[in-house]
Amino acid sequence: MSSPEAVAAALRERILALTLAAGAPLREVAVAAEFTCSRRTAREGLQLLAREGLVTHARNRGAAVRRFTQQDIRDLYRVRRTLEGQGAAACVAASPEQLREVGRAYDRLADSARAGQDSVEHALADLRFHAAVIALIGSERLDSFFEQIAVEMTYAIRLIQHDEVAARVSDEEVLLDHARIRDAVLARDPLAAQRAVLEHIEENEPRLLALVGAE
59: pLDDT strictly greater than 90: no
**Is the dihedral angle over the CA atoms 51, 57, 63, 66 positive or is it negative?**
negative
Give the chain's mean pLDDT.
Answer: 93
Q: Are residues 108 and 186 in the same domain?
A: yes
Q: Please report, for residues 24, 28, 169, the alpha-carbon distance to residue 166 in angstroms, rounded to integers and kept in the order given.
A: 22, 33, 8
Q: Are residues 76 and 16 in the same domain?
A: no
Q: Are residues 85 and 177 in the same domain?
A: yes
How far apart are the C-alpha atoms of 45 and 23, rounded to whole Å?
17
Q: Are residues 147 and 182 in the same domain?
A: yes
Q: Are residues 31 and 91 in the same domain?
A: no
pLDDT tens digit sequence for 70-82 = 999 999 999 999 9
pLDDT tens digit sequence for 42-58 = 999 999 999 999 999 88
> Total structural domains in the chain?
2
Please choose, from the candidates 16, 29, 32, 30, the residue with its C-alpha nearest in 3D space to the C-alpha of residue 65.
16
Domain range enclosing 132: 70-214
Do 73 and 208 form a contact (C-beta atoms < 8 A)?
A: yes
Percent over 70 (pLDDT), the chain: 99
Q: Are residues 110 and 191 in the same domain?
A: yes
pLDDT at 26: 95
How far apart are the C-alpha atoms of 172 and 113, rounded to whole Å?
9
Q: Are residues 81 and 166 in the same domain?
A: yes
Q: Are residues 123 and 29 in the same domain?
A: no
